A and B are shown apart, each in its own frame.
Chain A
């Protein structure tokens, strides 16, 4: 129970920090809507539905990168991560608390992105909403781990996308598949499996990322 209490404390702290600073979520909202507007003009008339769904997933992945580059900014500025790492709490609680906050930020961006997508491109079905929800978890669990790794580097803005994009290709495959396939269940299952595997890997490896 104390582990969950620590996770709750850390996630609440991240949400409060964003509420105060408003550094990340407004930028993510603006970015995802701007990207969809640009794609709306970039996609030729008569282009297939598949192309539109592909662009939506590209927009969501890049929006996630935008949020993740700021994920450990507050900890980096004043070396607060050292303070958190020294606390007797399990260090994976730092990762899980942060990942929950990232999921919340992504959910806000998606609440805006999906109606915008419906407006510009295609109607939004339950399978797309389910795929986006599952993908958000995957993007957050992998992205938070990589953001912590990148935060320790001087070239963090370059490093994060370089590490993140190859690892989230399965999410894009699963997301696009669930959006357009006749049987989306298979792809949704694939996304859930991805979330589970990478959540376990990230949970287990976070300690090694934040300590020498």
Chain B
């Protein structure tokens, strides 16, 4: 599903990724680790199509509408409520039975009671839960998860553990994290960036 040859990305004079070769098949889970600045987020943004490579080739064999991208920021509007944000994305992604799907995700991630509150009032953990709901809303074939455990409390992290367990083997996942222990048992491929 993802194929990279001599992939590189620079920002001005700074080279963040260089000469990366990668093959990831369908329904595999690639665990990406590495210190800050090693290019984990850049690799995910490249796979999402948000950045273009400055060197090498990258092929991602999935339509952009079938990608679920979890970034550092939740990619939601602070002045809209959780429900309004998910409804916006649900409409743009043409999610079938949108309301039911949104309700189910909000309940699963413990945000149902806060659904009519503005995101600006949410804690970091609640924003991350909402970002996960947004990422999973359209049941993507390829999930690009950048530090998905960031900001989550233990119950939230346990929810995500269960979600990843259910998704592993059914979807293709690329997961970048500083905390690989939680995901190691599910990973089929590992990539350590320096």
Query: A120-151: contact bitstring with B at CB < 8 Å (1 yes, 0 no)?
Result: 00000000000000000000000000000000
Interface residues of B in 46-97 (CB under 8 A from A): 48-52, 63-65, 67, 69, 71, 73-80, 84, 88-89, 91-94
Q: Does A158 contact B (CB under 8 A)?
A: no
Which residue on chain B has the smallest CB distance to residue A88?
B65
Distance (whole angstroms) from the CB of B77 to the closest CB of chain A: 6
Q: Does A17 contact B (CB under 8 A)?
A: yes
Query: B91-128: contact bitstring with A at CB < 8 Å (1 yes, 0 no)?
Result: 11110000000000000000000000010000000000
Q: Does B134 contact A (CB under 8 A)?
A: yes
Q: State the majority secondary structure of interface residues on A.
A: helix
Partner of B71, one of A20, A77, A79: A79
Partner of A212, one of B52, B69, B84, B91: B52
Distance (whole angstroms) from the CB of A37 to the closest CB of chain B: 31
With a CB–CB cut-off of 8 A, which chain B residues contact A20?
Answer: 79-80, 118
Q: Tell me the bound Cα distance from A85 to B69 in angstroms.
A: 11
Distance (whole angstroms) from the CB of B152 to the closest CB of chain A: 18
Partner of A78, one of B48, B65, B76: B76
Extra contacts besides A79-B71, A83-B69, A86-B67 (8): CB < 8 Å: A6-B91, A13-B80, A74-B78, A78-B74, A78-B77, A86-B65, A88-B94, A212-B52
Task: Evaluate whether A78 and B75 lie within 8 angstroms (CB atoms) in the complex, with A16-B84, A20-B80, A212-B51 already known.
Answer: yes
